[in-house]
Amino acid sequence: MATRLYGVDGARIFSASGELDPWGWCWKSDVAMPESVREVDAKTALKCIGESGRARRIPVGVIGPREATTAQLEAAEALGTALGELGLTVMCGGKTGVMEAVSRGCLKAGGLTIGLVPDHSWRDANDYIALPIATGLSEARNMIIAKSCQVLVAVGNSYGTLSEVAYGLHFSKPVIGLEGAANVDGVQHAASVDEAVELVAEHMLQSAKLS
């Protein structure tokens, strides 16, 4: 994905498409870019949006196995921290492993965490889920996660994670892979958490509609 530069003027974000409406998540093409803007990358632009407090909380999905390796857990927590610092909302399956690690990082960094737990009680969510949703759908909730999120990041791999990757690609969602994520067509593999976050930021801003 080509790196784009954005213009920032206070809490206002601009691109060649116009000014971003952070609640409607669309570019207002009838607004000209002021001369006072400074050029920033997508991650910095997204952080400005998050700090403004005016953005709709469009979720980023993070998926991964319950039985995760140490490297995968560390990457998931670092990813959650980075996304939380950008003011983003993380949605996951709400249980253990990668899900718990990313939730811990995001919540401690000030981000919102949503867990779609497969069980019938919200109390089955891990301790770092701020908004637990008991679906009672077992693994069928994987489809809801993939459908509900703007971008998916897969940390590691398992059969359940692979199903979420497949649903994400089926729904034409960007899917970013870390730490042994499924090597299937359509997954963008990142070499580091920083690279994954940059890709998330690019996809989030490029998903904004033109008004």
pLDDT (tens digit per residue) in 50-79: 888 889 999 999 999 999 999 999 999 999
**Per-residue pLDDT tens over the stretch 70-103:** 999 999 999 999 999 999 999 999 999 999 999 9
Q: Which of 181, 122, 35, 6 is nearest to 169 (CA)?
A: 181
Three-state SS across 173-192? CCEEEECCCCCCCCEEECCC
Question: How large a percentage of the chain has pLDDT more than 70?
Answer: 99
pLDDT band at 33 (very low <50, low <70, confident <90, very high): confident
| Integer Cα distance of 140 and 111 in angstroms | 26
Instruction: Return the bridge partners of 153, or none.
Output: 62, 176
Could you tell me the domains of the chain?
6-53 (no CATH), 59-206 (3.40.50.450)
| Integer Cα distance of 79 and 14 in angstroms | 26
Q: Is the pTM of this model over 0.85?
A: yes
Q: Average model confidence (pLDDT) for the chain?
A: 94
| Integer Cα distance of 50 and 86 in angstroms | 6
**Per-residue pLDDT tens over the stretch 109-157:** 999 999 999 999 999 999 999 999 999 999 999 999 999 999 999 999 9
| Integer Cα distance of 92 and 72 in angstroms | 15
pLDDT value, residue 210: 87
Angle (CA) 2-174-97 rounded to 5° is 120
Q: Which of 130, 34, 147 is nearest to 84 (CA)?
A: 130
**Per-residue pLDDT tens over the stretch 145-172:** 999 999 999 999 999 999 999 999 999 9
CB 82 within 8 A of CB 197: yes
